[in-house]
Each structure stands twice: as structure tokens, then as C-alpha cells.
Structure 1
């Protein structure tokens, strides 16, 4: 499957999920990374009009979990996120943020991802580490 087809398939799975609610869309994929974007609007603001840290964490976990799916046989296994650590560096009121998950460790039972979240001017907004566990389907 080519890159455009993969992105289309991943985006189709977002229907009726938190990803659809937050308008998260996968936009780029490579051998060791996955990138998604999320618009910053009042829909994802906290009461002071800034991007909510929880929305940012949801974006980071979405991209980190989805990225692991490229390294497993999804007919035999599935992914569960087991740990997310995120630091918020800069606030954002409007525009778009992009989250890119890059693989740090690809083991047989766990994957570790670094997820950088930047804005459209490449300013670092947040940075996260996410650990996924690979489980056998029953």
C-alpha cells in the first residue's frame, strides 16, 4: 500500500472517535515516523483561550499509538498505550499544531516513541514520550 493509501486508511478509522472530535488528521508517514495535525480553535481551548494540555496529550497519544501499528502484524497483535509523559513548552491560541512520532525503541513487546508537537512556524509547543505494549489477539 502506498503512502497516500495508508494515510487515507488511517484517517478513515477516525470516524466517530475522539480523533474526529478533535479534527486530528494524519498527514505524513515514513519508515520511522508518523505526523498528524490538529487545528487550534476554541474547540480545544482551556478557559483562558489557550490550547488545552489534555487535547495536546490526546494528539500525542493518538500519533504514538497509530505509529506502532506500522510495525506489527495487526491480524495477530494489537497496541495499547501504557505510558505517556508530556511537557508543555509554549502556549498556542490559534492555527495548527503538528505532532510527529519518531521511534526510539522497537522491541518485540514494547515500542517507545518521542512525539514532538510544533506549530506551523516550527515552534516547539510540547514534547512527549509514549510507551506502547504489543499484545496478542485472542
Structure 2
């Protein structure tokens, strides 16, 4: 499957979800990473007019969870986030942020992802780690 088809399929999962509400869009996928962008505007601001940490958390968990599911390539498993930690390093008022999830560990039952959230110039906005548990789907 070519990259454009993969991205179209990944973005199709956003319909009627928080990802659609936050306008998260998957923009790149490779051998061991997935990247998405999210606009920074009043929808994702906190009262001081800057990017809300919860919106950043939603972007990070979206990327890490989808990355686990995508790279597992199994219809018999489900992915659930069990731990998310984020260090917010820089604020952002407008434009876009881009998150990229890369694996730290992909085991049989747990995955650990590092998600870097940067602005358009590549400045690090937040550094995130997400741990997922991999479970069997119940029939």
C-alpha cells in the first residue's frame, strides 16, 4: 500500500472522535514512526490563549496508540494506553504542532512510545512517553 493510501486509511479512523474535534490529521508514516499535525487555535487554547496541555496529551495518546495498533497489524489485538507522561517545554499560541511517535520498546504485551511535539520550525513544544498494553480482543 502506498503512503497516501495508508494516511487516508489512518485519517478515516478520526470520524466522530476526539481526533476529529481537535482536527488531528495524520501526515506521515514510515517504517517505525507516525506523524500527525494539530492546529493551535481557540479550540485547543487554555484561558491564557496558549495551547492546552490536555490537547497536547490527546495528540500524544492518539499517535502512540495508533502507532501500536498500526505496527501490530493484528485484528485479534486491541491497544489501550496505561501511562502517559508529558513535559511541556514551550508554549504555542497559533499555527500548528506536529507530533511524531517513535518506539522505545515494542514487546509482546507492552509498547513504549516517545512522542515529540514540535512547532512549524521544529522547536520542541512537549516531550511525551506513552505506555500501551496489548490485549486479546474478546470475541
- State the TM bucket, normalised to the shorter chain: over 0.9
Could you list the runs of 5+ residues in structure 2 that have no partner in the other structure?
Answer: none
The alpha-carbon deviation at position 44 of structure 1 amounts to 0.3
CA distance in 1, matches of 2:10, 2:137: 20
The alpha-carbon deviation at position 96 of structure 1 amounts to 0.3
The alpha-carbon deviation at position 87 of structure 1 amounts to 0.5
The structure-2 alpha-carbon separation of the partners of 1:73 and 1:29, relative to structure 1 and needing over 3 Å to count, comes to: closer
Does residue 136 of structure 1 match 2:115? no
The alpha-carbon deviation at position 9 of structure 1 amounts to 0.5
Q: 2:124 is matched with which residue? A: 124
CA distance in 2, matches of 1:128, 1:73: 24
Count matched residues.
138
Q: 1:38 is matched with which residue? A: 38
Write out aligned runs for 1:9-20 (5 A).
9-20=9-20
The alpha-carbon deviation at position 95 of structure 1 amounts to 0.4
Aligned with 1:5: secondary structure?
helix
Does residue 108 of structure 1 match 2:114? no
The alpha-carbon deviation at position 102 of structure 1 amounts to 0.4
Does residue 57 of structure 1 match 2:90? no
CA distance in 1, matches of 2:95, 2:73: 36
String of CA shifts for 1:27-80, please: whole Å, max 9, x gaps: 000111000000000110000000000000100000010001122243111100
Q: 2:27 is matched with which residue? A: 27
Could you list the runs of 5+ residues in structure 1 that have no partner in the other structure?
Answer: none
Q: 2:2 is matched with which residue? A: 2
Aligned with 2:65: secondary structure?
helix
